[in-house]
Structure 1
Amino acid sequence: MTRSAITTHVLDTAGGRPARDVPVRLEVRTPQGWRELGSGRTDEDGRCTTLGPERVEAADHRLTFDTAAYYGDRDHFFPEVTVTFTITDPQQHHHVPLLLSPFAISTYRGS
């Protein structure tokens, strides 16, 4: 499979390592509501590069990270993290990293 138009990288900032095996879902907003484009899990390096289609449309998209599955029995505050973003140029690749710790999250437009 080739690289998705939208990729992500999850880093466990509290542990100082990639967050492996985090379930991730990619969706697009349509007039009827949110529609799933793909899903996957982060690899050993915390990356998910085959998450969805090679091309996406200009629209609002969102990534939902199942952080409860990642943390398991460990104490955490966010069972799920959803990052919603707008794609205006579908010709560009969009990389949306997530910096994760049990009690804080951060994200940004990557390259």
Structure 2
Amino acid sequence: MEALPKQIASVADQVQEWVWDELWGRQAPTNWPVCPRHPDSHPMKATAQGAAGVWACPNDDAVINATTAAERIGLRALIVDALDGKAAAFYARHGFKPFTGKPLRLFHRL
């Protein structure tokens, strides 16, 4: 089984792919998350560093903590609020399930 930081980076990487798909479909820039040191060049990359999952600049190792919530509070699911039915369908295609009575609020168990 992968170590927790690698699992966190893997989930962040998948979320990044989903966001890129959504941005591409909206004909918006796909540079997400924006690298603070190179905002017009490339997005950050999800990676494991030490005991944390982080966003890092792929060019110079600048690091921004993405999340350590799973380690600190026992994160078990990712929850999203879709903007509309089309966005909810997008998340559903990626394994998210809607909350009962709230079709635009979806979750994905980790």
TM-score w.r.t. length of structure 1: 0.28
Higher relative contact order (CA 8 A, sep 6+): 1
Q: Rg larger in 1 or in 2?
A: 2
